[in-house]
């Protein structure tokens, strides 16, 4: 998975040597063009996603990106909290797809998930027992040294997951 912030046109990016090399090594390609709805937190001390204004509320497909740097000594308790959330995520109404992401196998963790609507992700995040328990544990245990939560409107998509 490659997440980029384009400051140039998409066609130039898609025709770049880097993307062509990735395409040659990939069995599938899914590309999604996003517009940021909301963001909270930092990624490596920076704010890479700036919210954009919408004239009307977005009610269609959305992507959520989460990313956190876990305090090393909090890894055991953090990882014990993951299985119930994973099970509830797989069963969540409105979830289209979800994948774990991160720059390192331990300590820098995240998710990229695609949802049918903002309402679907809100229901999962704030009404599901497992995720509500994880939110409470996050506040109680303070296991993140840094965290970022961002939601995006899906403007365009192509390819397959």
- Name the residue with tokens 């990016």: 13
CA–CA gap between residue 6 and residue 71 (Å, rounded) = 31
Cα–Cα separations (whole angstroms), residue 158 to 30, 31, 136, 155: 6, 5, 37, 11
What is the arithmetic mean of pLDDT over 9-29?
Answer: 91
- What does residue 130 show for φ and ψ, rounded to 5 degrees? -65, -45
Which range scores top for mean pLDDT: 45-54, 58-67, 99-108?
58-67
Confidence check: pLDDT of 129 > 90: yes
Round the average pLDDT of the chain to a whole number and report it: 91
Least confident of 55-59, 82-86, 88-92: 55-59
- Residue 48: CB atoms within 10 A of its CB come to 16
φ, ψ for residue 22, nearest 5 deg: -65, -45
Report all structural domains of the chain as residue ranges with CATH numbers, in order of start.
Answer: 30-159 (3.30.70.100)
Give yes or no for residue 87 having a pLDDT over 80.
Answer: yes
Average pLDDT over residues 50-56: 79
Give the helix/strand (H/E) hosting 128: none
Mean pLDDT, residues 140-147 taken together: 95
The pLDDT tens digits for 64-75 are: 999 999 999 999
Residue 7 has pLDDT above 70, yes or no: no
- Look at residue 9 in the predicted model and tell me its pLDDT: 82
pTM score > 0.85 for this model? yes
pLDDT in the model for residue 1? 67
Residue 116 above 70 pLDDT?
yes
């Amino acid at each position: 998975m490659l997440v980029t912030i384009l400051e140039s046109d998409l066609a130039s990016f898609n025709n770049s040597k880097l993307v062509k090399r990735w395409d040659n090594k990939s069995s599938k390609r899914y590309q999604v063009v996003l517009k940021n709805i909301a963001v909270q937190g930092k990624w490596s001390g920076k704010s890479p996603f700036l919210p954009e204004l919408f004239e009307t509320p977005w009610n269609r497909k959305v992507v959520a990106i989460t990313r956190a740097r876990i305090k090393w000594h909090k890894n055991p308790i953090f990882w014990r909290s993951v299985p119930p959330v994973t099970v509830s995520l797989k069963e969540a109404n409105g979830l289209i797809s979800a994948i774990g992401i991160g720059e390192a196998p331990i300590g820098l963790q995240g998710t990229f998930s695609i949802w049918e609507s903002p309402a679907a992700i809100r229901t999962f995040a704030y009404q599901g027992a497992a995720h509500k328990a994880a939110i409470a544990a996050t506040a109680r245990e303070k296991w993140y040294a840094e965290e970022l939560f961002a939601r995006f409107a899906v403007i365009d998509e192509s390819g397959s997951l």
